[in-house]
A and B are shown apart, each in its own frame.
Chain A
Amino acid sequence: MSKVQVRLKVNGKVIDELVEPRTLLIHFLREHLNLTGSHIGCDTSHCGACTVDLNGKSVKSCTVFTVQAADGEVITIEGVANADGTLHALQEGFREMHGLQCGFCTPGMITRAYRLLKENPTPTEEEIRFGIAGNLCRCTGYQNIVKAIQHAAAKLAGAPFQEAAE
């Protein structure tokens, strides 16, 4: 089947590539662009490890064709850090609050939380839990992930988050 020319922006950079229509966005990111931060976990749109931001929406990139993302804008974990290279408040939050153990789910968690905080900069604990319901973590029990997101929300709002990690 013939390839299609696809143009899209990934982490601010314009990409022009020939792809097979069946190429999933996660494969395109990992194998064509060597952006291996987004992970393939379940490969069935349940676990959220492959979550990236596409046109202002959190999507599971294992269930989106690259051609669907044509002319769009993608942000992956590699594009989340601040322009000066310092960690984004969410990345800092996950570090400070011990929001990860094995780290496999973390890129998906952070890119999902990135959109969650854009839409709702002051989420309650319940809203955070509901907002990350599409991301599975098999290590942490979520407690410190929620705290990490609270930490980031507080930092972005200019107020420090007090509670320590467990």
Chain B
Amino acid sequence: MIPGSFAYHRPNSIKEAISLLADLGEDARVLAGGHSLIPMMKLRLASPDHLVDLGAINDLKGVRADGADIVIGAMATQHELIASELLGSKLPLLRETSLLIADPQVRYMGTLGGNVANGDPGNDMPAVMMCLGASYQVVGKSGERKIAARDFYKGAYDTALSTGEIVTAIRIPVPPPGHGFAYEKLKRKVGDYATAAAAVLLTINSGKVATCSIGLTNVADTPLWAEQAGKILVGSTLDAATVTKAAAAAEAITSPASDNHGPAYYRTKMSGVMLTRALIRAKARAS
């Protein structure tokens, strides 16, 4: 399969990229790792006249601590997230999630920025970012702004980004030491999108849940933040009755499509099952 023709641009700075995108307007697409866009171009489902490759911009790379946050450059690859010692010690949920994305070759190329900005409800990181309370640093010709992950997703492939804007970094508040976490993903095979998946971040104080945040992947047009399900669990010991109630609350906000991952009712049910498993694992990890 051969994509349609396009002109290729490889800017060396964010400023240069923004100015190119401002000039080219709707005719341009941004290229990050390319593992969503290039397959679409090969199928001619996308045929941009211009590709602006962000691969040469050093300011979009790297993982660093910044006060109480960790800031990850949009072009950091999943492979780099897995290898990062900083993330391994402070935010192990990202490593766990990254290892469940695609396969080794795709993880060498796939970027966190591309994963969160593409707006594909099948992508794993958006729900994790909602769960973590992350925000996206966004730059366009009219300047810089910060958008909370929980406000970013409007529909399938529809996000709060305007034409010409790019995500430059992802800012994540570091959870307290001893937090419990898990990402549970049901998939049919390596490389598959989730039939349903759940991200959990919780803290436990004197045997009771002090805080709990839950994200759900691929069970609606957008990733979901299951706020109500999290609230139900706060104050509980994660006893079976309360977990069942929270799983029901999470299932209630899903609206998956029936597709080759299974019928909608099955995927809804599996979102509750994934959440239950994630809660059990997160609890075992919390201290």
Contact = CB atoms under 8 A, between A and B. Distances in A.
B157 interface: no
Contacts of B7: 1-2, 21
A46 to B, nearest CB: 6
Contacts of B232: none
B216 to A, nearest CB: 25
A63 B35 contact: yes
A116 B107 CA distance: 13
A1 B6 CA distance: 6
Nearest to B5: A1
Interface string A48-66: 1001000001111001110
Contact of A57 (B6, B38, B102, B109): B109
A117 B5 CA distance: 38
Interface of A: 1-2, 4, 20-22, 24, 27, 43-46, 48, 51, 57-60, 63-65, 67-68, 70, 112, 116, 130-134
Contacts of B191: 46, 133-134
Nearest to B51: A21
Nearest to A119: B83
A58 to B, nearest CB: 5
B5 A64 contact: no
Contacts of A48: 103, 105
A22 B4 contact: yes
A90 to B, nearest CB: 16
Nearest to B4: A22
A6 to B, nearest CB: 10
